[in-house]
Amino acid sequence: MKRELIQKAIDEAAKEEANLVIWDRRDTFTVENDDVKEIEAEDDHLRVRMQDGKATVFVEYDSIYKLVVDKERTGKSRPGSRAGFGAATS
């Protein structure tokens, strides 16, 4: 996945005070807005530092295949529906 696309998702999540859901080769995890101290798009990886200082997560861009800015859903949206940024793999 390209750094510019990842930075766009980070910026939107911060602006909307939303969670960021990351799918990589091995796992899916949610970076909850309330628990994040800092998210940085480095040259070849995403770095997430948690508020409590107990964890820093590193995810290589090549292993990310989907990012979702998970905003609060209103009553009109379907449960479980999500839109995201994805990368095509070859």
- pLDDT band of 52, cuts 50, 70, 90: confident
pTM equals: 0.72
Q: What percent of the chain has a predicted confidence (pLDDT) above 90?
A: 40
**Res. 79: pLDDT tops 60:** no
What letter would DSSP give residue 17?
Answer: T
Looking at residue 64, its pLDDT comes to 92
**Helical (H) or strand (E) element with 10:** helix 3-16
pLDDT tens digits, one per residue of 19-49: 999 999 888 888 888 888 888 999 999 999 8
Domain 3-71 class in CATH: mainly beta
Mean pLDDT across 43-67:
89
Give, in order, the Cα–Cα distances in Å from 37 to each of 8, 81, 82: 18, 27, 24
